[in-house]
Chains A and B, each alone.
Chain A
Amino acid sequence: MSKQINVALIGNPNTGKTSVFNALTGLNQKVGNYPGITVDKKQGICKLSRGVKAHILDLPGTYSLNASSLDENVVIELLLNKNDKDYPDVAIIVSDVENLKRNLLLFTQIKDLKIPTILVINMSDLMNRKGISLDIELLEAKLHTKIALVSTRKNNGIQELKQLIENYKTISKETCLDTSSIDTAYFESLQKAFPNQDVYKLWLVITQDANFGKITRQELDISKFKTKSNQELKRLQQKEAIKRYQFINSILKEGQTIDRSKATGLRSKLDRLLIHKVWGYVIFFWILLTIFQAIYDWATVPMDLIDTTFASLAEWVKNTFPNGGMVTDLVAEGIVSGIGGIVIFIPQIAFLFLFISILEESGYMSRVVFLMDRIMRRFGLSGKSLVPLISGTACAIPAVMATRNIENWKERLITILVVPFTTCSARLPVYLIIIALVIPEGSIIGLSYQALTLMALYLLGFGMAIFSAYILDRVLRTRHKTFFVVEMPNYKLPLLKNVIITVIEKTKTFVFEAGKIILAISIILWVLASYGPGDKFNNAEAYIEPTTQTSYERNDQIAAFKLEHSYIGIIGKTIEPLIKPLGYDWKVGIGLVASFAAREVFVGTLATIYSVGSANEGENIDTIKNKMQNETYADGTKVFTLASGISLLLFYAFAMQCMSTLAIVKRETKSWKWPILQLIGMTAIAYICALIAFQFLK
């Protein structure tokens, strides 16, 4: 066994815990999942001297050992389970020099679990400016710990911290508080019932059970021992908090002096502007506009590049691999274009997370939550729902994941359920082609009809999300109480390193998590479109008469004929009666079915159906457009009219057509009930709206 020290990095949110983690591990980190839940598990390796390595686990930020969210629960579960392979040899508590008092609450709790603990005081470079001075020796002695003064911004103190980790065995395991003084009689009886267990640990297990839910991976059965009501337990927890603060205040009185006159007014100056009743909103919407501009404008350059690269790669595979083989087709049409369909979203997702992480790092995001909470609450949402709803315009998958910090279950559930209504980037290619097809060119006061239609579709998505939240808020009955506490952190300049690491990490998660599913479904679709039963599919050449057309045109016609009689064509024909009232024929039906992999597949599928051969999105959009424009029913009426176009736009705006989103909703809500409700509910709304639109307009 090589010598490896297990280190758990723990701390309040907004203390720069992640910066310390990044400073210790560099890019030597990976993100995984805790089994059964989708809380990110960030771990990394830190090399110490003499070949010793430290395995560093960056635990989710928490204010105390009493969890109120899934993320926080991870911390408790680990610290209460000595058998966990990640159980720390040493804990590092990261605190912020300006918030030492509150940060020490968590510190004393961890100490009382008898885990050797190092206290990191981060942002120590600000001490002079803020007029704070600390008596480190005294604090170390009174808190029975070692302290590292760190500044991740100035890159100070990391070496000293590494040395402390290496010598963790010298750190005292002495507790801070005599926890049994919380309720002497009760703690005594607890100890009597479980003589081999640490009594504070028992207390945490019991209160956790009352607060948040059962601790799943612990070896104690405390159910027989719940002799106090939840109300009594809560009173004792309040007493515990008071006792801890008494202890902390008595130490800080000696060990910390703050010269308040030196406090700079940056926070209040910025707050006065950024959460101003008028300017606050103006600035926020201006920031939103910039983000949209970036996602739609700046991202198009790399996206076009990716698009053409993958198209030529598929072409290259076709020309280089053995001709006409099944493997060649699978690689070129199934796998390469499948991967292309994932990679194409990287620029947008990266831009989105670039902005989100800058807004979060700077402390601005909490101000947005503050500004929007009242408005969002009217619709059963929380101020914290705003970030997911904005993220939803890139992709619903990270957006659903971003709901985790909403403590109130009902608000979180409603947010998850309505997020897929926001216009995700996969709808964009579909919108673009249909708008080009059915909305006339021309403009009003300098704004083109087509651009206005696109904007209307985005607003429609948001509007529907808010409207259905309002309905769900009245329909859903839950026992959960409202719960809203938001810390308003100090403003700070985002650290470039943190921002970049976040962007890389989130993009990687998207590529591998969502990518797997998209790729699998692309392959299935390819199989369904490439095979069919019976002679008409397998012998298509014989059915197309070799008349006057060129061989190129003839090949296209054969391909279209084959598709009609492939498995997916049969599916399209089967659902035709159902979608006829909406104004679609079976070919559009195939596109709808294919959209379940990812909506943007629609355009590519139509390209194949309307026999544009190897057409791909973008460069050949005009050819697809022309073909679609000329597409008629047997009686000569056009398939794509204003009526059927609007109907199709509405259908795409509202329908739940994304398997990956359903999968992630299932994981986040731990039940099939909600994704199924989403699938049926959203698709029904889409169907009805599309039906009404078509019947009225035709």
Chain B
Amino acid sequence: MHLTIADLKKGEKGTITDSSSEDIPLKLLEMGCLPGNTVHLLQLAPFADPMYLNVNDSFLAIRKETAALIIIKKIDE
């Protein structure tokens, strides 16, 4: 099983390895959800959904179902 953004816990970081799923909105790619960029999970709404991220210096919120489509490699600090 691949790790995705939805698996991150509050405060954790990851590097995007694949964001080519067809169901990821183009807007998200254009905001920087592209392979090689770092994702930092800043905060979670109740039920861990939506998720508040910092990607590529952009601050944005996406739903968990979308986050589960973006595959990452966890960065251990």
Question: Which residues of A are at the interface with B, using a C-beta cutoff of 8 A?
Answer: 63-64, 66, 68, 98-99, 101-102, 105, 211, 231, 234-235, 237-238, 241-242, 245, 267-268, 271-272, 275, 277, 366, 369-371, 373-374, 377, 383, 407, 481-490
A60 to B59, CA, bound (A): 20
Q: Chain B residues near A242 (CB, 8 Å)?
A: 34-35
Q: CB distance B58 to A487 under 8 Å?
A: yes
Q: CB distance B57 to A370 under 8 Å?
A: no
Q: Chain A residues near B43 (CB, 8 Å)?
A: 271-272, 275
Which residues 14-54 of B have a CB within 8 angstroms of A?
19-20, 22-23, 25-32, 34-35, 42-43, 45-47, 49-50, 52
Q: What are 28 inter-chain pairs, A to B, with CB distance below 8 A?
A: A63-B30, A64-B27, A64-B30, A68-B25, A101-B32, A102-B57, A105-B30, A211-B26, A234-B22, A235-B20, A238-B20, A241-B34, A245-B32, A267-B59, A268-B42, A271-B52, A275-B52, A370-B45, A373-B49, A373-B50, A374-B50, A484-B50, A484-B62, A485-B27, A485-B31, A485-B61, A486-B62, A487-B31
Most chain A CB within a 10 A radius of its CB, from B23, B35, B49, B61: B61
Q: Is B7 an interface residue (CB 8 A)?
A: no
A7 to B55, CA, bound (A): 32
As a 0/1 sequence over residues 55 to 72 of chain B, the CB contacts with chain A under 8 angstroms (1 = contact) are: 011111111011000000
Instruction: Report how many residues on chain B are interfacial, defined by Cβ distance under 8 Å.
Output: 32
Using known A-B contacts A245-B32, A271-B42, determine if residue A366 contacts B49 with beta carbons closer than 8 Å: no
Q: CB distance A485 to B28 under 8 Å?
A: yes
Q: Chain B residues near A271 (CB, 8 Å)?
A: 42-43, 52
Most chain B CB within a 10 A radius of its CB, from A369, A481, A489: A481
- Minimal Cβ-Cβ distance residue in B for A383: B50
Using known A-B contacts A101-B56, A102-B56, A268-B42, determine if residue A482 contacts B34 with beta carbons closer than 8 Å: no
Instruction: Rank and list the top 5 A-B pairs by shortest CB-CB distance, nearest first.
Output: A488-B59, A486-B61, A64-B30, A370-B61, A484-B63
Q: A370-B61, A383-B50, A486-B60 are in contact. List 5 more A-B contacts (CB 8 A).
A: A64-B30, A271-B52, A275-B45, A486-B50, A490-B59
Q: CB distance B63 to A66 under 8 Å?
A: no
Q: Chain B residues near A105 (CB, 8 Å)?
A: 30
A245 to B36, CA, bound (A): 11
Q: CB distance A102 to B32 under 8 Å?
A: yes
- Minimal Cβ-Cβ distance residue in A for B47: A374
A87 to B30, CA, bound (A): 25
B76 to chain A, nearest CB (A): 20
User: B45 touches which one: A374, A407, A489 (CB < 8 A)?
Assistant: A374
A245 to B27, CA, bound (A): 14
A371 to B46, CA, bound (A): 8
Q: CB distance B61 to A101 under 8 Å?
A: no
Q: CB distance B59 to A487 under 8 Å?
A: yes
Q: CB distance A485 to B60 under 8 Å?
A: yes
Q: Chain B residues near A272 (CB, 8 Å)?
A: 43
User: B66 touches which one: A366, A374, A484 (CB < 8 A)?
Assistant: A484
Q: Chain A residues near B31 (CB, 8 Å)?
A: 63, 102, 485, 487
Q: CB distance B57 to A99 under 8 Å?
A: yes
